[in-house]
Structure 1
Amino acid sequence: MDARAIIAAVRRKQTPDPEALVWFAQGLATGAVSDAQAGAFAMAVVLNGLSDEGRVALTRGMRDSGDVLEWDLPGPVLDKHSTGGVGDCVSLILAPVLAACGAYVPMISGRGLGHTGGTLDKLEAIPGVNIDVSERRLRLITREVGCAIVGATGRIAPADKRLYAIRDVTATVESIDLITASILSKKLAAGLEGLILDVKCGSGAFMKTVEDARALAQSLVSTANGAGCQTMALITDMSEPLAPALGNGLEVAVCMELLSGNIKAAPRLHELTVALSVNLLVMHGAQPEDAAEKVRTALASGAAMERFADMITALGGPPDMAVDWRTHLPKAPVVGEVTAPTSGHVHAMDGEALGLAVVALGGGRKVETDRVNPAVGLSEVVGLGTQVERGDPLCVLHAADEETAMEAAVAVRQAISIGEAGAHGPLIVDGIT
């Protein structure tokens, strides 16, 4: 095995043997592969790609470069992954819903990236929550509560951690092969029996077109199945925020409303959470009608709320989250409406611009060392097609001070186009099995 020979093969548009790619992934974790070699490999893959077999081998090697969890539980071990979008807080609802339906969800999540929020940042908007837990603690919470949303330890897919850092500084992030291996190496290291992927497309997503989203979804599904994990994907629309709120604490508040049974608080978020949950249960033998009934009952009965609250307590959060959650979420000192500059219908929304407006408020990171303000963001964001009169609210803005509030208001008005009413497509665009 020789890193130079592997790089040269990819440069010649030849996929190395699976054993060689597994060795290369192990070398990323052990240091046998240098930074220069890792960067050269990433660039070769960006330019020439890997075969399906090669992508599976690289993913398996990165998965096996650290700890791979094994479970002995009285129900299926399931999870989901989203490629990221504005107002996407599905994980906070889906994990406890599945737990209430008898599944186990050890969800290893990440932080915000670019204009999109991160599940871990949202959880940390709740006072006392600590997502940095040991493997022993992850196992205990998963077994006792049914779900645990935590950060990855340094022993989970260390090859990916190293390669991702190098890709970030060598302009080699945008490769379907490398994105696939990065996402799946961490997810499959959790020892899953089933995985569902939410691959987003539209203005608020990283993949702007359906075609790009479909290509990524097909790569993820075929690779995960090739690596031994039953997987499917939904391609979903992100031409407007999934929830009517952007910002960590504000998105948690919307999730708590849904877990309290208030579906009207976020109909699109509710629809997608139910669809993803039902498809996962069906993948593991449930009939569609039975799965749908279980999921809706978990939400309506308060069973999912109970699981969520138990998880928060187990992670160090307040013990009364289920009944008194409003008092625990942070509140911004400056709150006010952003109003429509003209009359008409909400014709289009630049989701990425809305997400970046929240980052500018302090709700995300411009550099890795930035501290996130969990109180800031946007709430009560209008939906596509909404008719507004001049002066009607487009959203409610939550800011740390007047200056950032004024700047964000300008950005929001620029991101929301008002004109003639138009037709809008479905939330779920396609499914890949």
Structure 2
Amino acid sequence: MDVIDVITAKRDGRELTPEQIDWVVGAYTRGVVADEQMAALAMAIVWRGMTRAEVSRWTEAMLASGDRLDFSGLARPTTDKHSTGGVGDKITLPLTPTVAACGAAVPQLSGRGLGHTGGTLDKLESIPGWRAELTPEEMRRQLRDVGAVVCAAGGGLAPADRKLYALRDVTGTVESIPLIAGSIMSKKLAEGTGALVLDVKVGSGAFMPTATAARELARTMVEIGADHGVRTIALLTAMDTPLGRQVGNALEVAEAVEVLSGGGPGDVVELTVTLAREMLTAAGLTTAKDPADALADGTAMDAWRRMITAQGGDPDAPLPAARERRTVLAAASGTLTRLDARAVGVAAWRLGAGRARKEDPVALGAGVTLHAKPGDPVRAGQPLFTLHADEPERFDRAAEVLADGYEIGGEYDPLPLVIERVG
């Protein structure tokens, strides 16, 4: 094979053959194909797109570049959830133990935050003692004993995707639905789960700002799952406003514990229960305990405590808190009609809750508390936000972005939390 032939074929709008795809992905992973050559191919894919057959084979080639976990011997059926990321999206935390409490095994491989969206591992690392790195043997044992695990993906899973993702990030080739879908699905399929539910976010705080783009991404990923024998469905869910009332690592853990205790914000509870029901149905557990009951009767909380303890965490330990706080007050009275998810995410990032580079540390107690959500009545002088940071000099820049991130007016016409189901 000649990499120039592969690049020019896609540049000219031709469909790549399975042999070309297998070779170029494997050769790039081994270092035979140079970064600049793969960057040229990625840009050609951005411009020319891929057919369903190409995307499926591309995903398979990235899967073949590394290890695949196998949980087929477990007594419970496996099911997993993936979110495309948002602001205040702490759903994995209450969802994973809730689904385990209803009879499934949930092997949840998660990541860290970058930019304005938070990472599940960063949130869980605010729990004293909790560790993200597990071996496949430890994962299997915890799934057998607890039914739930949230941990980091090992370096052996889809190494082609890890290398290609870093390249796309610096070559302007991130925004390609075939490449995004192949990246997500190669990692999720490598987990070895039997069923997969995708939470594809739509709105200002999401990677996909429009329902049209989100729907295309959802459809592509559902097709990849079907082509690889994994029952896959997707929900398009709203991310124009943050989920819940807490944005920031330890703040979101505390809110997730509220949900597991039978309380918490209505939108977080609704999405947790909706996704849990989809996961159980996809796994074939149609007569399982209802997730709402698991939250109400304490069995989801019991599974959470076992899951955290199994990974070295202390579920009773105090969570980190920021050293400083500042309250932002409403400038007018009326109804909160807009609360921009991206603005809140950027504010939390500026307060120290996120990172600009993968190697940056995060301030575990930093973030934003929301005292009102769209549709709520507010009065002039009422607290709208509480900002949490270790360094008070961070407050002004966070407040600056929030000032343009909300509106107080009259009528409010919300998006439904669950917009559409695909698959």
Q: Distance in 2 between matches of 1:312 and 1:170?
A: 39
Tell me the equivalent position of 1:99: 100
CA pair 381-216 structure 1, distance change in 2 beyond 3 A: farther
CA pair 238-313 structure 1, distance change in 2 beyond 3 A: same
CA-CA distance at 1:132 after TM superposition: 1.5
Tell me the equivalent position of 1:178: 179
Q: Which amino acid aligns with 2:382?
A: D
Tell me the equivalent position of 1:155: 156
Contact 1:234 1:428 survives alignment (8 Å): yes
SS of the residue corresponding to residue 430 of structure 1 reads strand
Tell me the equivalent position of 2:268: 269
Tell me the equivalent position of 1:45: 45
Q: Which amino acid aligns with 2:2?
A: D
SS of the residue corresponding to residue 328 of structure 1 reads coil
CA-CA distance at 1:157 after TM superposition: 0.4
Q: Which amino acid aligns with 1:170?
A: T
- Give TM-score, length-normalised by structure 2: 0.97
Tell me the equivalent position of 1:382: 372
CA-CA distance at 1:409 after TM superposition: 2.4
Q: Distance in 2 between matches of 1:35 and 1:138?
A: 34
Tell me the equivalent position of 2:111: 110
Q: Which amino acid aligns with 2:298?
A: G
Specify every segment of 5 or more residues in structure 1 that has no aligned partner in the other structure, as ranges: none
- Give TM-score, length-normalised by structure 1: 0.94
SS of the residue corresponding to residue 404 of structure 2 reads helix
Deviations 1:311-342 (A, max 9, x none): 21121211xx1xx3xx4211111123211011
Tell me the equivalent position of 2:219: 218
Q: Which amino acid aligns with 1:27?
A: A
Tell me the equivalent position of 1:344: 334
Tell me the equivalent position of 1:368: 358
Equivalent residue in structure 1 for 2:309, among 313, 316, 319: 313
Q: Distance in 2 between matches of 1:210 and 1:303?
A: 36
SS of the residue corresponding to residue 363 of structure 1 reads coil
Q: Distance in 1 between matches of 2:261 and 2:63?
A: 37
Q: Distance in 1 between matches of 2:365 and 2:335?
A: 29
CA-CA distance at 1:411 after TM superposition: 2.4
Q: Distance in 2 between matches of 1:247 and 1:34?
A: 39
CA pair 407-114 structure 1, distance change in 2 beyond 3 A: closer
Q: Distance in 2 between matches of 1:280 and 1:41?
A: 36
SS of the residue corresponding to residue 234 of structure 2 reads strand
The alignment yields a C-alpha RMSD, in angstroms, of 1.4
Alignment of 1:195-214 (within 5 A): 195-214=196-215
**1:299 and 2:302 are equivalent in the alignment:** no
SS of the residue corresponding to residue 290 of structure 2 reads helix
Q: Distance in 1 between matches of 2:392 and 2:67?
A: 48
Q: Distance in 2 between matches of 1:134 and 1:284?
A: 24
Equivalent residue in structure 1 for 2:320, among 320, 330, 338: 330
Q: Distance in 2 between matches of 1:310 and 1:350?
A: 36
CA-CA distance at 1:365 after TM superposition: 0.5
Moved over 6 A (4+): none
CA-CA distance at 1:283 after TM superposition: 2.1
Tell me the equivalent position of 1:28: 28
Contact 1:78 1:195 survives alignment (8 Å): yes
SS of the residue corresponding to residue 261 of structure 1 reads coil
Deviations 1:86-143 (A, max 9, x none): 0001111111111111111111111113210011111111111110122222222222
For these two proteins, the number of residue pairs brought into alignment is 422
CA-CA distance at 1:67 after TM superposition: 0.5
Q: Distance in 1 between matches of 2:371 and 2:361?
A: 25
Q: Which amino acid aligns with 1:370?
A: D
